[in-house]
Amino acid sequence: MTEDMMPISLENLMNFNCNSQNECFNDCCRDLNQALTPYDVLRLKNNLGISSQVFLKTYTSLHYGPGSGLPVIEFKPNPATGYECPFVISKGCSVYDDRPGSCRMYPLARAIARSRETGEISQYFALIEEPHCKGFGKKTGQTVKEWLKGQDVGKYNEENDKLMELISLKNQILPGKLEGAGADKFYLALYDLDEFREQIVEKDLLNEFHFPKDLLKKIKTDDEVLLNLGIDWVKFMLFGIKMTFGG
Ligand code: SF4
Ligand code: SF4
Protein backbone atom coordinates (compact mmCIF):
# COMPACT_ATOMS: atom_id res chain seq x y z
CA MET A 1 0.00 0.00 0.00
CA THR A 2 1.47 3.41 -0.96
CA GLU A 3 1.64 6.48 1.29
CA ASP A 4 -1.42 8.12 -0.24
CA MET A 5 -3.57 5.00 0.34
CA MET A 6 -5.54 4.86 3.57
CA PRO A 7 -7.30 1.65 4.62
CA ILE A 8 -11.03 2.16 5.12
CA SER A 9 -13.91 -0.16 6.02
CA LEU A 10 -17.44 -0.41 4.62
CA GLU A 11 -18.87 1.09 7.81
CA ASN A 12 -16.60 4.18 7.81
CA LEU A 13 -17.94 7.50 6.59
CA MET A 14 -17.04 8.37 3.01
CA ASN A 15 -16.15 12.05 3.29
CA PHE A 16 -15.99 12.53 -0.43
CA ASN A 17 -18.17 14.31 -2.92
CA CYS A 18 -17.58 14.34 -6.64
CA ASN A 19 -19.71 16.70 -8.70
CA SER A 20 -19.53 18.92 -11.75
CA GLN A 21 -19.08 22.04 -9.59
CA ASN A 22 -15.70 20.81 -8.33
CA GLU A 23 -12.80 22.71 -9.91
CA CYS A 24 -11.20 19.35 -10.72
CA PHE A 25 -14.20 18.13 -12.73
CA ASN A 26 -13.00 15.63 -15.37
CA ASP A 27 -9.34 15.87 -14.22
CA CYS A 28 -9.46 12.20 -13.21
CA CYS A 29 -10.37 11.26 -16.80
CA ARG A 30 -7.06 12.30 -18.31
CA ASP A 31 -3.46 11.16 -18.12
CA LEU A 32 -4.76 7.65 -17.76
CA ASN A 33 -3.00 4.39 -17.40
CA GLN A 34 -6.17 2.44 -17.04
CA ALA A 35 -6.48 -1.29 -17.63
CA LEU A 36 -9.88 -2.57 -18.74
CA THR A 37 -11.32 -5.89 -17.62
CA PRO A 38 -13.24 -8.22 -19.96
CA TYR A 39 -16.51 -7.13 -18.34
CA ASP A 40 -15.57 -3.45 -18.85
CA VAL A 41 -15.04 -4.15 -22.56
CA LEU A 42 -18.33 -6.05 -22.79
CA ARG A 43 -20.31 -3.16 -21.27
CA LEU A 44 -18.56 -0.42 -23.23
CA LYS A 45 -18.84 -2.03 -26.67
CA ASN A 46 -22.53 -2.71 -26.05
CA ASN A 47 -23.07 0.86 -24.85
CA LEU A 48 -21.58 2.07 -28.12
CA GLY A 49 -23.40 -0.55 -30.20
CA ILE A 50 -20.23 -1.79 -31.86
CA SER A 51 -18.43 -5.13 -32.05
CA SER A 52 -15.58 -6.07 -29.73
CA GLN A 53 -13.17 -5.98 -32.70
CA VAL A 54 -14.11 -2.39 -33.59
CA PHE A 55 -14.11 -1.29 -29.93
CA LEU A 56 -10.70 -2.81 -29.19
CA LYS A 57 -9.16 -1.43 -32.37
CA THR A 58 -10.61 2.05 -32.05
CA TYR A 59 -10.43 2.79 -28.35
CA THR A 60 -7.81 0.57 -26.75
CA SER A 61 -4.19 -0.45 -26.88
CA LEU A 62 -2.89 -3.94 -26.18
CA HIS A 63 0.34 -5.04 -24.58
CA TYR A 64 1.39 -8.17 -22.76
CA GLY A 65 2.43 -8.14 -19.09
CA PRO A 66 6.24 -8.48 -19.08
CA GLY A 67 6.18 -11.02 -16.23
CA SER A 68 2.87 -12.82 -16.84
CA GLY A 69 2.54 -12.64 -20.62
CA LEU A 70 -1.19 -11.92 -20.10
CA PRO A 71 -2.90 -9.39 -22.37
CA VAL A 72 -3.40 -5.94 -20.86
CA ILE A 73 -6.04 -3.75 -22.53
CA GLU A 74 -5.91 -0.03 -21.83
CA PHE A 75 -7.80 3.00 -23.09
CA LYS A 76 -6.00 4.61 -26.00
CA PRO A 77 -5.70 8.19 -24.74
CA ASN A 78 -5.28 11.03 -27.19
CA PRO A 79 -2.01 13.01 -26.74
CA ALA A 80 -3.64 15.96 -28.55
CA THR A 81 -6.16 16.34 -25.71
CA GLY A 82 -3.82 15.91 -22.75
CA TYR A 83 -4.17 12.10 -22.85
CA GLU A 84 -7.85 12.30 -22.06
CA CYS A 85 -10.02 9.23 -21.97
CA PRO A 86 -11.74 8.86 -25.37
CA PHE A 87 -15.13 9.11 -23.63
CA VAL A 88 -14.77 12.27 -21.59
CA ILE A 89 -16.83 15.26 -22.75
CA SER A 90 -17.40 18.67 -21.17
CA LYS A 91 -20.47 17.37 -19.31
CA GLY A 92 -18.56 14.40 -17.88
CA CYS A 93 -18.52 10.77 -18.94
CA SER A 94 -20.33 10.01 -22.21
CA VAL A 95 -20.61 6.30 -21.33
CA TYR A 96 -21.57 6.88 -17.69
CA ASP A 97 -24.08 4.01 -17.37
CA ASP A 98 -21.48 1.54 -18.60
CA ARG A 99 -18.26 3.15 -17.35
CA PRO A 100 -15.54 0.74 -16.22
CA GLY A 101 -15.41 -0.70 -12.72
CA SER A 102 -12.26 1.27 -11.86
CA CYS A 103 -14.02 4.56 -12.78
CA ARG A 104 -16.91 3.59 -10.47
CA MET A 105 -14.59 2.74 -7.59
CA TYR A 106 -12.38 5.83 -7.76
CA PRO A 107 -11.07 7.11 -5.32
CA LEU A 108 -11.36 3.72 -3.63
CA ALA A 109 -9.12 0.75 -4.30
CA ARG A 110 -10.42 -2.76 -3.65
CA ALA A 111 -8.44 -5.93 -3.00
CA ILE A 112 -9.84 -9.41 -2.44
CA ALA A 113 -8.69 -12.61 -0.75
CA ARG A 114 -10.40 -15.96 -1.24
CA SER A 115 -10.52 -18.51 1.59
CA ARG A 116 -8.90 -21.80 0.54
CA GLU A 117 -11.27 -23.72 2.80
CA THR A 118 -14.63 -22.15 1.95
CA GLY A 119 -13.93 -20.24 -1.28
CA GLU A 120 -15.50 -17.20 0.37
CA ILE A 121 -14.20 -13.81 -0.80
CA SER A 122 -13.13 -11.12 1.70
CA GLN A 123 -12.75 -7.60 0.38
CA TYR A 124 -10.49 -4.80 1.61
CA PHE A 125 -10.71 -1.14 0.70
CA ALA A 126 -8.36 1.84 0.74
CA LEU A 127 -8.84 5.49 -0.16
CA ILE A 128 -6.40 6.87 -2.71
CA GLU A 129 -5.94 10.55 -2.04
CA GLU A 130 -4.41 12.18 -5.10
CA PRO A 131 -3.54 15.90 -5.13
CA HIS A 132 -5.60 16.71 -8.25
CA CYS A 133 -8.82 15.36 -6.75
CA LYS A 134 -10.69 17.97 -4.70
CA GLY A 135 -13.59 15.80 -3.65
CA PHE A 136 -12.08 14.87 -0.28
CA GLY A 137 -13.06 16.25 3.11
CA LYS A 138 -16.69 16.87 2.10
CA LYS A 139 -19.21 15.44 4.53
CA THR A 140 -22.07 13.58 2.88
CA GLY A 141 -23.15 11.40 5.81
CA GLN A 142 -22.78 8.33 3.58
CA THR A 143 -20.86 5.27 4.64
CA VAL A 144 -18.45 3.61 2.22
CA LYS A 145 -21.03 0.84 1.76
CA GLU A 146 -23.75 3.34 0.83
CA TRP A 147 -21.43 5.23 -1.48
CA LEU A 148 -20.47 2.02 -3.28
CA LYS A 149 -24.13 1.14 -3.73
CA GLY A 150 -24.64 4.48 -5.47
CA GLN A 151 -21.80 3.64 -7.87
CA ASP A 152 -23.49 0.34 -8.79
CA VAL A 153 -20.26 -1.63 -8.53
CA GLY A 154 -21.72 -4.95 -7.36
CA LYS A 155 -22.09 -6.58 -10.77
CA TYR A 156 -18.68 -5.30 -11.88
CA ASN A 157 -16.97 -6.71 -8.79
CA GLU A 158 -18.72 -10.04 -9.24
CA GLU A 159 -17.60 -10.34 -12.87
CA ASN A 160 -14.11 -8.90 -12.32
CA ASP A 161 -13.46 -11.31 -9.44
CA LYS A 162 -13.72 -14.14 -11.99
CA LEU A 163 -10.78 -12.58 -13.86
CA MET A 164 -8.85 -12.27 -10.59
CA GLU A 165 -9.47 -15.97 -9.93
CA LEU A 166 -8.23 -16.84 -13.42
CA ILE A 167 -5.05 -14.78 -12.96
CA SER A 168 -4.47 -16.36 -9.57
CA LEU A 169 -4.86 -19.86 -11.11
CA LYS A 170 -2.42 -18.92 -13.85
CA ASN A 171 0.13 -17.75 -11.29
CA GLN A 172 -0.21 -21.02 -9.36
CA ILE A 173 -0.32 -23.45 -12.28
CA LEU A 174 1.68 -21.65 -14.99
CA PRO A 175 3.97 -19.18 -13.21
CA GLY A 176 6.12 -17.09 -15.52
CA LYS A 177 5.42 -15.70 -18.93
CA LEU A 178 2.52 -17.10 -20.93
CA GLU A 179 3.48 -17.09 -24.61
CA GLY A 180 1.93 -17.57 -28.03
CA ALA A 181 -1.27 -19.58 -28.33
CA GLY A 182 -2.08 -19.45 -24.59
CA ALA A 183 -1.99 -15.63 -24.53
CA ASP A 184 -3.97 -15.49 -27.79
CA LYS A 185 -6.72 -17.73 -26.37
CA PHE A 186 -6.91 -15.56 -23.26
CA TYR A 187 -7.37 -12.47 -25.42
CA LEU A 188 -9.90 -14.06 -27.78
CA ALA A 189 -12.20 -15.62 -25.19
CA LEU A 190 -12.15 -12.81 -22.65
CA TYR A 191 -11.80 -9.57 -24.59
CA ASP A 192 -12.69 -10.18 -28.24
CA LEU A 193 -16.10 -11.68 -27.49
CA ASP A 194 -17.74 -11.14 -30.87
CA GLU A 195 -14.86 -12.87 -32.65
CA PHE A 196 -15.00 -15.69 -30.06
CA ARG A 197 -18.75 -16.06 -30.76
CA GLU A 198 -18.16 -16.15 -34.49
CA GLN A 199 -15.48 -18.80 -34.14
CA ILE A 200 -17.84 -20.97 -32.06
CA VAL A 201 -20.95 -20.51 -34.18
CA GLU A 202 -19.46 -20.29 -37.68
CA LYS A 203 -16.17 -22.19 -37.33
CA ASP A 204 -17.05 -24.85 -34.74
CA LEU A 205 -14.25 -23.75 -32.41
CA LEU A 206 -15.68 -25.70 -29.46
CA ASN A 207 -17.07 -28.59 -31.50
CA GLU A 208 -15.13 -31.23 -29.58
CA PHE A 209 -16.92 -30.37 -26.33
CA HIS A 210 -20.50 -31.21 -27.39
CA PHE A 211 -21.88 -28.58 -25.11
CA PRO A 212 -25.59 -28.19 -24.36
CA LYS A 213 -27.76 -26.97 -27.28
CA ASP A 214 -29.50 -24.35 -25.15
CA LEU A 215 -26.08 -22.89 -24.25
CA LEU A 216 -25.22 -22.56 -27.94
CA LYS A 217 -28.51 -20.71 -28.42
CA LYS A 218 -27.83 -18.41 -25.46
CA ILE A 219 -24.32 -17.39 -26.49
CA LYS A 220 -25.68 -16.12 -29.80
CA THR A 221 -27.38 -13.26 -27.98
CA ASP A 222 -26.05 -13.11 -24.42
CA ASP A 223 -22.54 -11.69 -23.99
CA GLU A 224 -22.39 -12.44 -20.27
CA VAL A 225 -23.09 -16.14 -20.86
CA LEU A 226 -20.47 -16.06 -23.64
CA LEU A 227 -17.88 -14.46 -21.34
CA ASN A 228 -18.47 -17.10 -18.68
CA LEU A 229 -18.07 -19.80 -21.33
CA GLY A 230 -14.82 -18.09 -22.40
CA ILE A 231 -13.47 -18.21 -18.85
CA ASP A 232 -14.48 -21.88 -18.62
CA TRP A 233 -12.71 -22.62 -21.93
CA VAL A 234 -9.52 -20.79 -20.96
CA LYS A 235 -9.40 -22.76 -17.69
CA PHE A 236 -9.60 -25.97 -19.72
CA MET A 237 -7.21 -24.99 -22.51
CA LEU A 238 -4.54 -23.51 -20.24
CA PHE A 239 -4.84 -25.47 -17.03
CA GLY A 240 -6.72 -28.66 -18.00
CA ILE A 241 -9.63 -27.87 -15.64
CA LYS A 242 -12.79 -29.66 -16.81
CA MET A 243 -15.38 -27.38 -18.41
CA THR A 244 -18.57 -26.87 -16.42
CA PHE A 245 -20.69 -25.08 -19.08
CA GLY A 246 -22.11 -22.88 -16.34
CA GLY A 247 -23.11 -25.89 -14.23
S1 SF4 B 1 -14.87 5.98 -18.99
FE2 SF4 B 1 -15.88 7.83 -18.28
S3 SF4 B 1 -15.43 7.97 -16.09
FE4 SF4 B 1 -13.99 6.53 -16.99
S5 SF4 B 1 -12.15 7.71 -17.47
FE6 SF4 B 1 -13.44 7.68 -19.31
S7 SF4 B 1 -14.73 9.50 -19.20
FE8 SF4 B 1 -13.85 9.16 -17.16
S1 SF4 C 1 -10.87 14.56 -9.65
FE2 SF4 C 1 -12.06 13.67 -7.95
S3 SF4 C 1 -13.65 15.17 -7.38
FE4 SF4 C 1 -12.73 15.80 -9.33
S5 SF4 C 1 -14.14 14.96 -10.86
FE6 SF4 C 1 -12.54 13.43 -10.56
S7 SF4 C 1 -13.26 12.05 -8.93
FE8 SF4 C 1 -14.56 13.90 -8.92
Dump pLDDT digits (tens) for 6-45: 999 999 999 999 999 999 999 999 877 889 999 999 999 9
Q: Is 241 touching ligand 2 by the criterion CB < 6 Å?
A: no
Ligand 1 centre distance from Cα of residue 64 (Å)? 23
| 17 in any annotated domain | yes
Helix/strand/coil (H/E/C) assignment for every residue in 127-172: EECCCCCCCECCCCCCEHHHHHHHHCCHHHHHHHHHHHHHHHHHHH
Q: How many domains does the chain have?
A: 2
Predicted local confidence at residue 119, as pLDDT: 80
Based on the fold, state whether residues 92 and 152 are members of the same structural domain: yes
Of 125, 159, 193, which one is at a domain's C-terminal end?
159
Average pLDDT over residues 51-65: 96
Handedness of CA 67, 124, 110, 222 (dihedral sign): positive
Specify the ligand 1 atom closest to the Cα of 26. Answer: 8
Ligand 2 centre distance from Cα of residue 127 (Å)? 13
Question: Could you tell me whether strands 108-114 and 5-8 are parallel, antiparallel, or unpaired per DSSP bridges?
Answer: unpaired
Based on the fold, state whether residues 53 and 106 are members of the same structural domain: yes
Whether this model's pTM surpasses 0.85:
yes
Based on the fold, state whether residues 27 and 119 are members of the same structural domain: yes
Q: Whose CA is nearest to atom 5 of ligand 2?
A: 25
Predicted local confidence at residue 2, as pLDDT: 54
pLDDT tier at 152 (50, 70, 90 boundaries)? very high
Q: Is 135 touching ligand 2 by the criterion CB < 6 Å?
A: yes
How deeply is 175 buried, as exposed, middle or buried, from its count of CB atoms within 10 A (0-12, 13-18, 19+)? Answer: exposed
Could you list the residue range(s) of the whole structural domain that residue 75 is in? 5-159
Q: What's the pLDDT tens digit per position in 70-94?
A: 999 999 877 888 788 999 999 999 9
Based on the fold, state whether residues 11 and 46 are members of the same structural domain: yes
Based on the fold, state whether residues 149 and 187 are members of the same structural domain: no
Based on the fold, state whether residues 68 and 149 are members of the same structural domain: yes
Specify the ligand 2 atom closest to the Cα of 25. Answer: 5
Question: Could you tell me whether strands 71-75 and 92-93 are parallel, antiparallel, or unpaired per DSSP bridges?
Answer: unpaired
Q: Whose CA is nearest to atom 4 of ligand 1?
A: 103
Based on the fold, state whether residues 56 and 143 are members of the same structural domain: yes
Based on the fold, state whether residues 11 and 115 are members of the same structural domain: yes
